Amino acid sequence: MASESKFYQKNLSWTPNFVQKNIDIIERNYEKFPSRNRWNCNCHVIHDNDLDAEPIDFEFLRSEYENQAILFCESRGLKFKGLGPIWYNYYKSGQYQEPHVHEGSYTFIHYMIFDNSQHSSTKFTDDSIESPKINQGDILIFDGELEHYVPANSCTSPRLTVAFTFDAEPMVPKGNEINTENIFPTSVWWVDLDLNNDALAEECYQIQSREPKGRVCSTRNGYQSNDLDFSVNQKNLLKLIQEITKVSNAIFQSEYLEEGDRRKLYVQNYWVNINPKGGSHIRHTHPGAFISGVYYVKCVSDLDHGSIRFWRSEWEDFILLQNNLPNKFDRDDCIYHPVQGRLLLFPSHLPHSVDRNELDSDRIAVSFNLKIRE
Ligand SMILES: [Fe+2]
Ligand SMILES: [Fe+2]
């Protein structure tokens, strides 16, 4: 590589003005921490996240430097990825910085107080790299992996630089980017409701004692009621239905409907599930509905208290399980433990099951289906 392409250099005309405004702060910090730094050298270094020092105008520097870093990236066909912390280095007589490299993609140095007749420019451990000639106010950008150091200041006037690193990555040529689109995204929604769960549990048990047989659909070793009516004698359950309707319509409107579409969801049917220890629900879907869900009336937040498990369709499973890749695109199920007071909603076509209740206490849930009212 030709030596000129290793360095990007430019002069910032506001430098003397900035020094004038901030030098007193630097001197005060120097008094307190004359050779504070985070490395193995003896110069005075203050980072913008050193909370015990008086800050110079790092905010101004950050915005100016970001612009400069972006200009640099544009000139090199790079994509700017952001600045790291900013620090200043103040070298009085005898103070130096040992050879080091930086972690970011590029090192940026701004020479704030620099007299090239007395001060040493930044040196490189690779002797084949010649240090560029520096004037006060110059910025110098070079590869973060380039090892550099600053020899001890041999004169009585201080030398001041500000430095930071920034990340950049090669721009992918236009037209060759890989475009990703998620064609069948699946959402699951949940919200914690503030309802009287003790009163709800009471109503659920009353339903169970009124019709203890219930019905058997997906339930195994647990109780499932028939569909419940919407009459007013179950006050708390009806309040829950109102909440479910409200939440579902908010989702329906924001995620499914186009502007001006006034269609609404309504609760088509709902029922109570009481799973004692050993109770579970086998894998199923809710045909005929649009959104279905569950509200946890009584449970402990524990994977063993009857967690719900969502599944990929069997056709997908069959292929995916052959690969055994542990990522979200390729796993065949996804589990949510129950949380008392939580309402969990999902598309009715999404296959799901409920794991066995392994605990000694009942897990009470209300399940429901919503349909679109045309
Ligand atoms: Fe450095
Ligand atoms: Fe279900």
pLDDT at 72 over 80: yes
Q: Is 188 exposed, middle or buried (0-12, 13-18, 19+ CB in 10 A)?
A: middle
Percent of the chain whose predicted confidence (pLDDT) is above 90: 84
pLDDT of amino acid 2: 38
Which CATH code is given to the segment(s) 3-170? 2.60.120.620
Q: Any alpha helices (H) in the chain, and if so which ranges?
A: 3-6, 15-32, 58-76, 197-210, 235-255, 314-320
Q: How far is the CA of 81 from the centre of ligand 2 (A)?
A: 45
pLDDT at 60 over 90: yes
Handedness of CA 155, 159, 164, 169 (dihedral sign): negative
The confidence band for 4, taking pLDDT boundaries of 50, 70 and 90, is very low
pLDDT of amino acid 330: 61
pLDDT at 351 over 70: yes
Instruction: Pick 179-373's CATH classification: 2.40.33.20, 3.60.60.10, 2.40.50.140, 2.60.120.620.
Output: 2.60.120.620
pLDDT of amino acid 289: 97
CA 149 from chain centre, in angstroms, equals: 37
Extents of the domains making up the chain: 3-170, 179-373
The confidence band for 1, taking pLDDT boundaries of 50, 70 and 90, is very low
CA neighbor of 94 nearest in space, from 31, 158, 149, 24: 158
Q: Is 264 exposed, middle or buried (0-12, 13-18, 19+ CB in 10 A)?
A: middle
Identify the residue whose tokens are 């086998």.
282
Task: Report the C-alpha gap between 351 and 224 in whole angstroms.
Answer: 19
Contact 97, 109 (CB under 8 A): no
pTM above 0.75, yes or no: no
pLDDT of amino acid 264: 97
Note the pLDDT tens digit of each residue in 191-248. Answer: 999 999 999 999 999 999 999 999 988 889 999 999 998 876 899 999 999 999 999 9
pLDDT of amino acid 205: 97
pLDDT at 56 over 60: yes
Q: Average pLDDT of 320-336?
A: 75
pLDDT of amino acid 216: 85
Q: Average pLDDT of 274-301?
A: 96
pLDDT of amino acid 171: 83
pLDDT of amino acid 256: 94
The confidence band for 3, taking pLDDT boundaries of 50, 70 and 90, is very low
Q: How far is the CA of 135 from the centre of ligand 1 (A)?
A: 18
Q: How far is CA 100 from CA 2, 122, 231, 361, in A?
A: 23, 11, 77, 62
Q: Which ligand is nearest to the CA of 148?
A: 1
pLDDT at 323 over 50: yes
Q: How far is the CA of 135 from the centre of ligand 2 (A)?
A: 73
Q: How far is the CA of 294 from the centre of ligand 1 (A)?
A: 58
Q: How far is the CA of 159 from the centre of ligand 1 (A)?
A: 14
Q: How far is the CA of 16 from the centre of ligand 1 (A)?
A: 22
